Homo-oligomer: A and B are copies of this chain.
Amino acid sequence: MMIRPHNIDTFFNPDGVAIIGASEQEGTVGYVISKNFIEGNYKGNVYPVSLSAKKVLGVKAYKTILDIQEKVDLAVIAIPAKYVNQVLLECAKKGVKSCVVISGGFSETGEVERENELKKIVNDTGIRVIGPNCVGVLDTKSKVDTIFLPEDRMGRPKKGGIGMISQSGAFVAAILDWASGEGVGMSKVISFGNKADVNYSDLIDYLSSDMETHVITIYMEGVGDGRKFMRAAKKSVVNKPIIILKSGRSKAGAAAAASHTGSLAGADTVYTAAFKQSGIIRVYAPNEMFNISKAFLCLKKPKGRNVAIITDGGGTGVIATDNLEDWNVELASIGEDTKERMRSKLPPYCSVKNPIDLTGDANAERYEMALNEVLNDENVDAVLLIMLFQVPTLEDDITERLIPIIKASDKPVFVISQGGEYSRKKLSEFEEKCVPCYQSSRNAVQALSALMDYYDFIKKKEL
């Protein structure tokens, strides 16, 4: 067996991209992909390949990939399935390193022989393939974008630290679109469909050493080679957290997964145990992925599980306190000195007992004081900062005043606020500075708990 070069990086940072099946006909897959590369922000060389067109969107087109004289690292293939393997051989001959095969019509429609032939080409030539039957790759930095869903239907997220690997293309489409609407930043996103070649472990390895990616998120139905996956995950988890949404948990769900991607979902308890043992964070809904990812992007490591809650609404303080118990997080016992100092600076109707209630006439000064106090208290490992911005006494510049205090501390501070237009504006000011914000204390506490679990795991690992 020949030693195959990894060649994963050329999917994201290719020197030359060929679009095989490029088209000017609106509504086709070849059109959307051509548009992404030619009219989008991609800066590299693009070579449309088309049997009929002389030009595609103003760029010279070629009959076959072998007609291109320049270097081509990446080929995006969107042509009828029956021609794919022939074209793959041509790509190999041309020296292409990586192919994204968008085309469906392989094992998922019963064409197992065709997929086996594709695998053989991969093995014989060393070319790397993402797909077939996939939406492929999005890189928010290099602007490689093979996703054939048009921008008016599916927004593209901005640059950010979350990488994603998904078996399901629909899942990725919905998530990218949602992330673009919410202003959530992502780094590299891969949906690999039938995963005939490039698989979880290749991509985990790659994202693990990718400078743009700080958190790896995965949507998975079945894992395939479990041993290889676990080895890659275990190695990577020490560098950066891995968050997995594994579906097919229930009996009916497993049956549905089998009919969807042919995945053998396997006994769910086995996954739970394996994930836990490897420090992988398991989630059960897409929004949990992002709530937890955000927590890691603040790049603060809690030393323990003791949390101070500061609020301007007593009720929301009580709800947050309830949530701590659900997620095995402790309400910190604030030091007597700290409490004494806070008491001397607050009106008598405020409560300095954790949760600290600055009450409905709180202003920025109270928040600054209380936040500084608890961050300097050695009994506190993290802070939940609840702010109901509906209260008019909270000055508009409160965000500017609190952000430096939050940034100066090595303890994580999460902001919780539920509300409408004004509140969201304030939250976005925090988020721009990488302060994680949540509309519900439950989501914040779950994320904080995951952060604590992860660094606990890493600490034990290092001992």
Contact = CB atoms under 8 A, between A and B. Distances in A.
Pairs of residues from A and B, 6 with the lowest C-beta to C-beta distance, nearest first:
A170-B313, A168-B315, A181-B420, A260-B314, A250-B325, A253-B322
Interface string A237-259: 00000000101111111001101
A173 interface: yes
Nearest to A168: B315
B442 A284 contact: yes
A139 interface: no
30 contacts: A108-B349, A153-B389, A153-B391, A153-B392, A153-B422, A154-B422, A155-B420, A170-B314, A170-B390, A170-B391, A171-B313, A173-B313, A173-B388, A174-B388, A177-B423, A178-B423, A178-B439, A248-B318, A250-B326, A251-B325, A253-B322, A256-B314, A259-B357, A261-B314, A261-B315, A284-B442, A285-B319, A285-B440, A285-B442, A287-B440
Contacts of A440: 285-287
Interface string A321-365: 110111000010000000000000000110101010100100000
Interface string A400-443: 00000000000000000111111110000000000000011010
Given A154-B390, A391-B153, A321 B253 contact: yes
Contacts of A349: 108-109
Given A168-B316, A170-B316, A247-B319, 10 more contacts: A153-B422, A170-B360, A174-B423, A177-B390, A245-B319, A250-B322, A250-B324, A252-B324, A261-B315, A287-B439
Contacts of A424: 181
A317 interface: yes
A420 B170 contact: no
Contacts of A316: 168, 170-171, 174
B315 A219 contact: yes
A115 interface: no
Nearest to A360: B170
Chain A interface size, as a band, is: 35 or more
A226 B22 CA distance: 71
Contacts of A109: 348-349
Given A248-B318, A418-B178, A390 B260 contact: no
A1 B166 CA distance: 70
B149 A392 contact: yes
Given A153-B391, A321-B253, A420 B312 contact: no
Interface in A249-293: 249-253, 256-257, 259-261, 284-287
A27 interface: yes
Contacts of A167: 315
A421 B314 contact: no
Interface in A153-192: 153-155, 166-171, 173-175, 177-182
A419 B250 contact: no
A145 interface: no
